Structure 1
Amino acid sequence: MATRMRLFMLSFIAIFLFGSCDAQPKTDTLKAEQLKPYGRYLFNQQHKLELISSAVHFGFSFTGEKCELHVSLADANAHNYIQYELDGVYQKRLRIEGNSNAPIVINTKPGKHTIWIYKTTEAHTGAVIIEKIAADKVAPLSVQKLPLIEFIGNSITCGAAADASEVPCGTGAYHDQHNAYMAYGPRVARALKTNFILSSVSGIGIYRTWNMDSPSMPQVYENVDFQVNQQQKWDFSTYSPKIVSIALGTNDISKGDGVHPRKPFDTAVYQGNFVKFIQSVKSKYPKAQIALLSSPMVKGESGKILENCLTAIKAKIDALYPKDKPVATFFFPPMDPRGCSGHPSVEDHAILAEQLNPFFRKLLKDQ
């Protein structure tokens, strides 16, 4: 009896001093290969998740006061950014250092939470590599089944040079002012309750870049990371967008950098290449509605030329595909952008999205 009493007392003291097993903090691990990303991504040979395209995202839930993201970059000398929503509310950007092995810790209040992680930067900035997520009762989330809009475009679509809140314009690296989450495409998608993917590259056009003859979007669109020399192709059966929005022309009609030789804007080449590109897109997404957007940054006579080209392209595609839904066009009012290097700012993107919402709402209603 005395022995039993001593054992009972020892157990009681142990629980009092150290707590029960259930009271100890728990840390579960969610491996990258268990995540359900949305956008352009890869699972590499090490079974890690490579976030590639602008605003490619994934979600998870957990219980507790914090979670740890084990994130890395291929280049130890580089840096990159992700940004996140916590319980449905946007928080901020998080900088990733290529030479750091420390996890990114997100702290919050006790309880059950949901987090959605977005890649802030574009494909050309390099992949953000996710190894695992560590937290109590961590579990992957799937993107809700909603209509999908794919936004094809250039730096504007990327949300490039839009956010100087942390790194002032004219300082740091080009991608230090990227904010894909706040770009017009994701804003439209959130307002209209649709899914989205961004297929966008800074400086790119339909037949040339802003200051060089190549690459063009048709040359890189099928490559998983939009790089010319990439051999791995994107699997277009992954998604079935209801609408494919194409905003390309700002860089084709650009005057260039004054250093590289540049021929005047060729309307015939622009229209011919655009028609072929739309045909390529339609071969991948036969049921998708095609929407062509002008540029808020192209004004005056150049703006009229661009709009006339898009109108002509619509007529050609409608004639080639008489049984399909007619191509839709939207022409932005001229804008004086307030972001870096002549780009729309985060606030400007809110204006662009407000202008676009009725246009895309009608297209979705007509599906």
Structure 2
Amino acid sequence: MLPSLLPCPGPLPAAVARFTMRMLNKYVRLAFCGLGLIAAPAAVPTKGPSTLPATALPAYGRYRLTEAKQLELISSAVHFGFSFEGPQCEIFASLPDAGSHNYLQYELDGVYQRRLRIDGNAKNPLTITAPGPGRHTVWVYKATEAHTGPIFVQKITGQRLKALREPAAPLIEFIGNSITCGAAMDASEVPCGTGAYHDQHNAYQAYGPRVARALHTRFVLSSVSGIGAYRNWNSDGPTMPQVYEKTDFQEASPQRWDFSAFTPQVVSIALGTNDLSNGDGKRPRLPFDSAQFVGRYVGFVGLVKSKYPKARIALLSSPMANGQNRTKLQNCLTAVKARTDAAHPADQPVALFFFQPMQPRGCSGHPNVEDHATLAKELEPFFRPLVGKE
């Protein structure tokens, strides 16, 4: 029991007061321990949600930072990465047009997950849920091409966020048309022939990113559906040589791309499918002009070389070109190589790759997801020595 304390007529001496308080604390603790009521040490509060602003996100591909400090994702498969802790994080993204929609797609902890639809009038952020506790890595990709319109990213919220940079590795730039974009390839959510054109885009699964992942290299895509070297699918232009220097591949755009942003070791160019096509059947279409095609193509290769003097140039044929068109394209690309090598004798020679004939199984005669996997498998041994992976 507690000792009785006699009333004191005046203040206790300091030493007596300290002794008395120690004794009281001792007996109080013993009493509470006996009752099982002793308090546990105070828990350290967990770190609350944090914010990663768009300006802190390094992007790979064609992008720009807007005056409002948003990250504007422009080109196919342009991407950024970050890590977080806990069960989920949120991506705040928007579109310039309230009546439109667009798509992102993402990897979580190195595994591809799915596409994320963004509606122009959406008010809520996109939520990424992790399968368990701990630290997680996320890489976010624009699923659609530049002509679909940009996606603006404002910020990321979550626990202990950290922006990620790609590890040092060779970079391949893939220039091309709808095939390179990964257009019309994925009808898993919206069937072919329905929805908008970009509803079947899946840039992450296109042959270029697949090759890069297989070879542990980095990549950027510079591609536009329907585009050609001297004429497009259903028009005379603007063609790739006319829009390549513009950030968003739009001829009238005032924004010019800063080619010092990335330095590819290899530039892969796959043009010709649309030059050879019969068009849309509505506009007049002259027969394919091989001289014009070769001349414009040689000029475009020269333009690319002026941007990346040390890059190895690789020319790819088309898996959609069969029969006589396949032969024409291969002959033209061989001529482009010969003229380019002669004009640049001190440079590494242009590399050529001809796809095997394919009957595409995607929408509107394009390769589908499985077809792109086949194309990537064909290309791996071709690109391996070009990026020093022998």
Give the Cα separation in 2 of the matches to 1:312 and 1:277: 14
Alignment correspondent of 2:116: 94
Alignment correspondent of 2:100: 78
Residue 275 of structure 2, aligned match among 247, 252, 255: 252
* Alignment-mate amino acid for residue 135 of structure 2: K
* Alignment-mate amino acid for residue 294 of structure 2: Q
Give the Cα separation in 1 of the matches to 2:133 and 2:199: 32
**Does the alignment pair 1:44 with 2:71?**
no
SS in 2 for 1:70: strand
**Does the alignment pair 1:182 with 2:180?**
no
Residue 348 of structure 1, aligned match among 371, 378, 381: 371
SS in 2 for 1:129: strand
Give the Cα separation in 2 of the matches to 1:286 and 1:107: 44
Give the Cα separation in 1 of the matches to 2:121 and 2:300: 40
SS in 2 for 1:59: strand
Give the Cα separation in 1 of the matches to 2:389 and 2:300: 24
For 1:1-367, what aligned pairs fall within 5 Å after superposition?
20=43, 22-23=45-46, 26-108=48-130, 109-365=132-388
Give the Cα separation in 2 of the matches to 1:107 and 1:257: 44
Point out where structure 1 has 5 or more consecutive residues left out of the alignment. none
**Deviation by residue 1:223-246 (Cα, 9 ceiling, x = unmatched):** 000011101100001111110000
Give the Cα separation in 2 of the matches to 1:96 and 1:21: 38
After superposition, the CA RMSD in angstroms is 1.9
Give the Cα separation in 2 of the matches to 1:140 and 1:210: 40
Give the Cα separation in 1 of the matches to 2:168 and 2:145: 25
* Alignment-mate amino acid for residue 213 of structure 2: R
Are the counterparts in 1 of residues 93 and 154 from structure 2 also a CA contact under 8 Å? yes
**Deviation by residue 1:6-29 (Cα, 9 ceiling, x = unmatched):** xxx9xxx9x99xx84614x62000
Give the Cα separation in 1 of the matches to 2:58 and 2:362: 33
Of structures 1 and 2, the larger Rg is shown by 2
* Alignment-mate amino acid for residue 139 of structure 1: K
- Mark the CA change 1:114 to 1:207 in structure 2 (over 3 Å): closer, same or farther: same
Are the counterparts in 1 of residues 215 and 389 from structure 2 also a CA contact under 8 Å? no
- TM norm structure 1: 0.94
How far is 1:365 from its partner? 2.6
Give the Cα separation in 1 of the matches to 2:389 and 2:241: 28
Give the Cα separation in 2 of the matches to 1:306 and 1:89: 37
Give the Cα separation in 2 of the matches to 1:26 and 1:347: 43
SS in 1 for 2:274: coil
How far is 1:366 from its partner? 8.4
* Alignment-mate amino acid for residue 304 of structure 1: T
**Deviation by residue 1:164-208 (Cα, 9 ceiling, x = unmatched):** 000000000000000000000000000001000000000000011
Give the Cα separation in 1 of the matches to 2:100 and 2:360: 29
Are the counterparts in 1 of residues 74 and 248 from structure 2 also a CA contact under 8 Å? yes
* Alignment-mate amino acid for residue 320 of structure 2: M
**Deviation by residue 1:73-105 (Cα, 9 ceiling, x = unmatched):** 011101000000001111110000110120111
